[in-house]
Structure formats: C-alpha cells, structure tokens
Amino acid sequence: MDRPLLVLVLGVAEQEEERIRAAAPGADVVFAPSAADVADRLPDADVVAGKLDAAQLAAARRLRWVHSWAAGVDSALFPEMVASPVVLTCSKGNGAVPLAEHAMMLMLMLDRHAPRWLRAQESRTWDRFRHGELAGTTCGIVGMGGAGTALARRAAAFDMRVLGLRRRPELQVPDVERMYGPDEVEAFAAEADFVVVTAALTPQSRGLLGVDAFRAMKPTARYVCVSRGGIADDEALLTALREGWIAGAGLDAHAVEPLPADSPFWSLPNVIITPHNGATTAQTARRGVDVFVDNLTRFVAGEPLRNVVDKTAGY
C-alpha cells in the first residue's frame, strides 16, 4: 500500500484512543462520533469501527473490514452489507457478564414480586407477603453463546436446574443438564419455570417462540428477554400474559426500540420493563475495544481476525 492505512473509529471514549492507535503503528487513525462526521474520509477508509448505513458503505470504496461495537449484528446486516466482500466482525462476548446478571435480576424480581415492594415503599406501606425462591426451579436458556453460558453458571450457583436450547444441540455447555434443538421448542418450554432469551436475532431465531411455545409453558412460568426482541412473537406473548398462559415477563430487549409509549407491554401488571439497558456498563464497552484492538493488531499483521460474522447465518 502506497499510503497509510486509514482507520475510522466511531463512538469510543477518549481514554481508549491511545491504545487503539498503538495497535496500528503508522496508520492514520481518525476518531469521530459517527460516520456522518467523517463523510469526507469514507472513500479512502480501509477499516471502520462503528455503525455504517448502506449509503456510507457504498461511499467507502476501499473498505475491507467493519467492526461492530455490538455483540449482536442484526442491525448491521442490511442487504448491501451481506452482499459486499467487506469482512464484518463483532464484539461478541463483551456483554456476557452484565446480561447474565440482568437476567438473574429479572428472574429474582419476578419470582419475589419486587414491584409490589417498590409500590409499598412509595406509599410507606409495610406489605409482607409470601414469595418464591429460585432454588429448585428450572431455568431454560435460549441461545448458548457467551451470555447464555454465563447465565447457566450463575443459575446453577443459585441451585437452579438449567436447560439449554441452541441451533446445534450436540454442543454441550457446563452446568446445562440437557440441550434441546430448535425443533424441540415446545418440549423445552414445557420444562422451564423461566424461559430466558440470550440468543442473537437471525432469520432462524425470529419468531422462534410463538403461540405453541407459550401455550406449552406452565401457567406459573415467566419469560425473560435480555438479548433481542423479535425472537418471541409479540402478539403471542401479549396474549400469553393477558390470558394467564404464563405468570409474567421481564423484558429488556424489545421488537421495536425504543418501546413505543402506546405499547400495551408498559401497562401489564405482570411485566417488568427495562430499556435495553442490561449490558450498558463501562466494562462492556471496554471489552468491545479489547476485541477491536486485538483484531486491529491482527489485521496489520495479516493474521486471521476474531469474531468474524457469518453474514448468512447472522452471527
């Protein structure tokens, strides 16, 4: 190459800049809030870390590699990106710890009816009641990547029985008693006291949990989603919650985000909503930069990259 490598790094904290520069000595590394702020540099960019839309991808004629700060890349897989020869990597694994913690929090809140305590506190009411405990219950985890594996470990530590559902059920995971495949959704759902979604949103997982799955669940069971909305069919979930097919839900990820103000999920008494906030930690961002720095070192050295996305599979 007769010019320095041009690396556009979008939306990172200022304190991360020095170590990113150090990963590519001699490269022209440009930091900006977004691609729109460096539109004039896109035609010469070799690498972009951050979000691009279809028009920006088309403008980046020299582009060879895009890194997504997110672990799930469904929003990055627009048709033009899928069709392009540009390599796409992601920060898979960066949010596993906080997502697993968030799922545990939602399960505990649902099982102990925590909103009732919060309402009582607001009214200064001493409201004691009988609630559940997680020990001895069954946690069914949809998706056994980083977050699912981390959740399995934590659920087992709470003396929960752990089941898993994944595209390749022959791949076993520590702490998981039994693994199910996508064609066994109803049998899996029937066993669980909590069905927890940690999976990526792909063409195969979209709508995986529909009427039949929610009908199969126990009326005492709860649904929790911390990865991506759309894996459960919203209309089926609403019906299940309204008609008592299941006891409740904890929703951090939603099919439409931000969740519209007129969404019926807001007002359901058996639902806890958080604003896709489960992995919004400084450590998550730091681990995403760790992946990019390692990959940038590899890219400069001509070595294979980590976390390369299969654009057809969607993860």
User: What is the set of active-site residues?
Assistant: 228, 257, 276
* Pairing relationship of beta strands 271-273 and 194-197 according to DSSP bridges: unpaired
- Cα(269)–Cα(209) distance, integer angstroms: 22
Residue with tokens 């490269």: 27
- Cα(216)–Cα(213) distance, integer angstroms: 5
Question: What residues are paired with 30 via a beta bridge?
Answer: 8
Helix (H) or strand (E) holding 142: strand 138-142
Half-sphere exposure of 266 (CA within 13 A, CB side): 7
Percent of residues in the chain assigned helix, strand, coil, to nearest 5 = 35, 15, 45
